[in-house]
Homo-oligomer: A and B are copies of this chain.
């Protein structure tokens, strides 16, 4: 897994001071809060680094310093257990052949590792109870993961293919980590990869039928 080289790790425990953003940990936490609010209100495209810095009461250069890019700030504000940009890079590295398998394995690797799916359960909980979390997830899934992947490996109908993949992955998340339906809850990762990869492969590169012949 990659790491975000432009994000220094805080070397002291988190300490918040009220009413003042002095730098370091305070600045980073403040930027994450501001980013969540801004992304939730305006979505990924509408949000600007300048306005996020303004909300946090810091200089826009701090965004660059702590997070590098708007996309990385967005990813960090989703509080993902592993770096999804690294997963994406891995998925894209291999081209269309076997992409279904890489997507499913990448997804399960991230979430199985994150508190045995506890982080996924928490995410889905907040998505179903808060509109802003649903919007964040929608933006995240679309912008950061699905569109880049579909653009690279799918022949056409990118948004549709991306949404189909998302539906299958989020469904695994619900069944494996929240509803805990057996045998999916305790199946091995490779059992699930074997069963589900062909679905994701078809959604990304296969024939979806001719009802909606857009491109």
Contacts and interface: CB of A to CB of B under 8 A. Distances in A.
A11 interface: no
A210 to B, nearest CB: 7
Given A128-B129, A164-B196, A174-B170, A191 B212 contact: yes
Nearest to A185: B163
A211 interface: yes
B168 A134 contact: no
A22 interface: no
Interface in A159-215: 159-160, 163-164, 166-172, 174-176, 178-184, 187-188, 190-191, 194-196, 198-199, 202-203, 208-212
> Within the oligomer, what is the number of copies of this chain?
2
Contacts of A62: none
A184 B164 contact: yes
Interface of A: 121, 124-125, 127-129, 134, 137-138, 141-142, 159-160, 163-164, 166-172, 174-176, 178-184, 187-188, 190-191, 194-196, 198-199, 202-203, 208-212
